[in-house]
Structure 1
């Protein structure tokens, strides 16, 4: 078998493979003999038809199957011969195939980039310094109370924070538009669920009122025909409900959070916030390591690997937007590949760079840290032991967990040699980076 490797450019490789005619003929004959043992032809008992008859009847299909099998078997052999490791699946085109002559095909594929790591000893990391304050604890306790709020109907005028039930019918220059009409819609005023002008326009009205609210659409609104326009919304207000939070000392509220006193609730809230603080600090440091690793080591990434990553990112986006049940074809139209290609390319690049660090620094997976990670993850669920059993029963999930742990080990290794600069910040700034603005 002759193999020639060509480099058209970048990471693309073309491997031209020639398989001798005698090997092709032998493969075809073996296929015909296999077919003869199963073939049922008129006038012959099963498996007793002469090979010549089998060849006349099944020759073309036998040759097609033999050629396909030869390509599949010879492709790995050819890769070993030229000493390359492809990234992703190849595109294979049979360029010459004729009875009695050699078989020729071209396999096109990308290879992994050659990586020369630099700057690993010059990383500079901001180390968040964050105190969990009593105000942070009180804020979390308030959110816990809001999570068990109830709404009571009132006869007064609506105010910000109330839940209202209403009908609305929006018109632009007297014409209805898509998405501008709703009946029996419930809106929490001030929560930003609808356009601010509509929510603010309901404030001050009581159940039974009918009124018109002018609503200004922002210049960057998603619907092209509404950008920067002002629509008139006819509103009929059916019901106003005020929010009632459970008292912090309410026994049922405390029991729901598995504590028996207000002090115990505050202690549990503080512990939860401190755990979140440590996780967020680690995430922030990890993101900085990743960003600097990618910036100081730009590499070309195989397009095939990027395209393999795109569906994963699309599925993650679908889960965030509660679109898991949308058929894959429709989801691909709603969330086209170009939305994810930049992130997919970065993720692939970081994976390759981290893999090179693993190889150069001889990083070995610490199996004890896998158990620690599984325990930490399971603690967030009501039945942690069941979660751990579920993970351990699924090899692909455990493989993902091991990969995450190994990645964290690499980050920790790089952090050891990094210069760290303390950066004081509030817990809100740490947990919500947008708050820093």
Structure 2
């Protein structure tokens, strides 16, 4: 007997079902719930659990009816979804309803469903095959980075230039309207005005460092130890731009000294290195590993782009919003791990969500297609995949695998991790099935005809 009374489309990939539970099922569940209430109920004149069942049903009719609905609705929605072949993308929304004894229970379910798309050939994509062999220039560049990391700073008696390191002090002038704290008679002064006042700080920076104010590099360049310079820069406070004066004083100029590249220096870098040739081989291996990883990402990006182009769909709005929210939360969590103070600074959430949305649409689209392919092809993440992922995550979060597993189980994160691992396996299967396009060989020169020069 079908339990679906009616079904209709109520939006893009959104359907509304009217489902009916037979009166006999309602009565049976109503009796079970009423007996549960009698065991717990305290009614004047009766010992606990001994009140007449009819009195319990009368006294708690509303609550019993709601509980019956809450028990039967999920069960019959599951039956209806299997009966109708519903592929829900999000948990359904069940309209509140109260069951009554002796009557069928009808309730309405609204659910976002998968868009209709026929996944055909997913093994004929043209994927790039970037080269992964390290070049001499790439090894040279990495070697130069090692030299920079192992460099030392030595004082010099000359004017500072870009690339030099300067130590000294910066004096900040007071902004207009500053009231010195000593003169403020407000006992509740919280220091909010202090940033407007004068101050002196030590400086130690490399000229040209992109993290520093450009004005610092410009005004320190050309100064020697003991010399001073002053400048103004525009600062914004309460959406008002003001000019503020600064004075800088140089105590010391230092020059970077790079080590000579020879076997003695190379052998001191690691026990596995004895010569410069050994060092270059290891650096070449690092370059190659990085290029292999980048090549894999390029192939994955190309695969997903072509998959989306081949199978365009319109997803439910709620699915895209969920993806955008997950991306925003991930971004916020990364900021928190880096020490971002959410109490002192507010993230522009509306702007962030707007900027994230295009990427969220692409990710949700790709995830849907990968889930469909995984379901059609029977792809599943293995227990080994899950344990390996948990181990990596536990190390990154400085916790143990068991504790992390329990935390993920509590908030549903473990199932989401399984889903992501299944998608990863699906991507790897598609990459393995799609060999790179063969290079078209140039036609061989045809032999000249007899008699031709």
Question: How many residues end up aligned between the 2 structures?
Answer: 403
Specify which structure has the bigger relative contact order, considering alpha-carbon pairs within 8 angstroms and separated by 6 or more residues.
Answer: 1
Alignment of 1:134 onto 2:136: yes
CA distance in 1: counterparts of 2:173 and 2:109, whole angstroms:
59
1:237-289 Cα deviation digits (max 9, x unpaired): 46545444455556698345753333221110011111212222222222222
Deviation at 1:336, TM superposition (A): 4.0
2:430 alignment partner, one of 410, 419, 423: 410
Alignment of 1:51 onto 2:65: no
Alignment of 1:115 onto 2:130: no
Greater share of residues in strand: 1
1:27 alignment partner, one of 21, 26, 29: 29
Q: Which residues in structure 2 correspond to 1:259-298 (within 5 Å)?
A: 259-298=273-312
Alignment of 1:188 onto 2:206: yes
Deviation at 1:78, TM superposition (A): 1.9
Alignment of 1:167 onto 2:170: yes
Deviation at 1:109, TM superposition (A): 1.3
- The SS at the match of 1:115 is coil
CA distance in 2: counterparts of 1:352 and 1:321, whole angstroms:
28
Alpha-carbon RMSD: 4.6
Ranges in structure 1 where 5+ consecutive residues have no aligned partner: 423-437
* CA distance 1:168–1:269, shift in 2 (3 Å): farther
Q: TM-score, normalised by structure 2?
A: 0.71
- The SS at the match of 1:86 is coil
* CA distance 1:106–1:349, shift in 2 (3 Å): same
Determine the structure 2 residue equivalent to 1:5: 7
Q: Larger C-alpha radius of gyration, 1 or 2?
A: 2
- The SS at the match of 1:127 is coil
Instruction: Answer whether contact 2:33 2:64 (CA < 8 A) is retained.
Output: yes
Deviating more after overlay: 46-55 vs 244-253: 244-253
* CA distance 1:331–1:107, shift in 2 (3 Å): farther
Determine the structure 2 residue equivalent to 1:426: none
Q: TM-score, normalised by structure 1?
A: 0.73
Instruction: Answer whether contact 1:206 1:237 (CA < 8 A) is retained.
Output: no
Instruction: Answer whether contact 1:289 1:414 (CA < 8 A) is retained.
Output: no
1:78 alignment partner, one of 80, 89, 105: 80
Ranges in structure 2 where 5+ consecutive residues have no aligned partner: 179-192, 406-413, 442-453
Determine the structure 1 residue equivalent to 2:324: 310
* CA distance 1:294–1:257, shift in 2 (3 Å): farther
Deviation at 1:412, TM superposition (A): 2.8
Determine the structure 2 residue equivalent to 1:345: 361
CA distance in 2: counterparts of 1:282 and 1:215, whole angstroms:
46
